Each structure stands twice: as C-alpha cells, then as structure tokens.
C-alpha cells in the first residue's frame, strides 16, 4: 500500500489564518531584514531548519526563510526569498523579490496595513502588495 501526501490539504492547513505580502526590493535579504528589524523592533533571523529546497532541471535551489516569533502572541513573521540563482519559489510572482508571511495568530486589517506601510518606507523597496491566497498556484513550495 502506498501512502500519498495530500499537498492541497497540507497547504490549506499551512495557510489557514495567514496574511501574505509580496515585496519588490532589489536588495540583499540580510539588508532588508536589518531594516525591518530596526523599524519594527523585531529580530528576524535566517532559519536554516526551514530553508526551502526545490529540485528543478536536475539542480537544487535553496530559498532562505527568515523567522521572528512575537514574544507576547503566537504570531510568527516569515520573510522568504522568492529568487535563487535564476529560479523562483513562486514562479507565478516572478516580479517579486520577497514574500512576507504572517502566521499563527489572527492579523487584523489595521495591523497588516501598518506593516505594509512601514515596509514601503524602507530604502530600496519599490512595491508592497497583499497576495490573495487564491492567486498562489504553487502553495506547496512555501511549506516547510
């Protein structure tokens, strides 16, 4: 008997009560994280344990994921690199450099808008937009 992993169901669980923003910022991930940490008094750090590895064209591609857990809530901030060596974590959003995911707790509209406005004011950031979950074709790529 073979067991088959239901990626759709896994993605549904993973993305339950999340908010996702796409960021266009042609800067290094550590530079963006440093600025986010300064402006939002956070401590986003690269978490190698949840780095995303995809195999394409017989090659491995690694997409860094930065993580920050809010101390007083169960909300977790994740910043994904959307590009690695010419490949994309979410090919349907090739124009985006980073994906910012909020997960683990309810995020109200005011908090999310304030976060996006803060990110927009970071030097080097050209665009910040919310991404509707139904627009993501490759949700499975973001699950760690």
Average pLDDT over residues 15-37: 96
Strand partners, 12: none
* Residue 13 confidence (pLDDT): 87
What are the percentages of helix, strand and coil residues in the chain, rounded to 5? 30, 30, 40
User: Could you tell me which CATH number the domain at 12-142 has?
Assistant: 3.30.310
Average pLDDT, the chain: 93
| E runs forming strands in the chain | 19-24, 45-46, 52-56, 59-63, 65-69, 76-81, 83-84, 87-88, 98-103, 127-130
Strand partners, 54: 61
Q: Where are the domains of the chain?
A: 12-142
pLDDT (0 to 100) of residue 56: 87
Q: What percent of the chain has pLDDT over 90?
A: 85
State the Cα–Cα distance between residues 50 and 40, nearest whole angstrom: 23
**CB distance 62 to 53 below 8 Å:** yes
Tokens 């974590």 correspond to 89
Place of tokens 């549904």: 12
What are the tens digits of pLDDT across the range 42-98? 999 999 999 999 998 899 999 999 999 999 999 999 999 999 999 999 999 999 999
pTM reported for the whole predicted model: 0.92
Distances 104 to 21, 24, 78, 85, 107 between C-alpha atoms, Å: 16, 25, 11, 30, 9
Q: What is the DSSP letter of 123?
A: T
């Amino acid at each position: 008997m073979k067991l088959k992993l239901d990626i759709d169901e896994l993605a549904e669980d993973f993305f339950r009560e999340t908010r996702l923003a796409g960021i266009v910022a042609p800067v290094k991930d550590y530079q963006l994280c440093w600025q986010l940490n300064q402006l939002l008094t956070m401590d986003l750090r690269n978490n190698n344990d949840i780095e995303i590895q995809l195999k394409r064209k017989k090659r491995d591609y690694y997409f860094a994921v930065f993580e920050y857990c809010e101390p007083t809530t169960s909300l977790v901030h994740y910043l994904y690199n959307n590009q690695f060596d010419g490949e994309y974590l979410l090919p349907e959003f090739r124009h985006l450099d980073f994906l910012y995911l909020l997960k683990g707790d309810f995020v109200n509209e005011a908090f999310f808008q304030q976060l996006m406005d803060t990110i927009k004011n970071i030097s080097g950031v050209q665009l910040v937009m919310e991404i509707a979950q139904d627009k993501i074709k490759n949700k499975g790529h973001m699950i760690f």
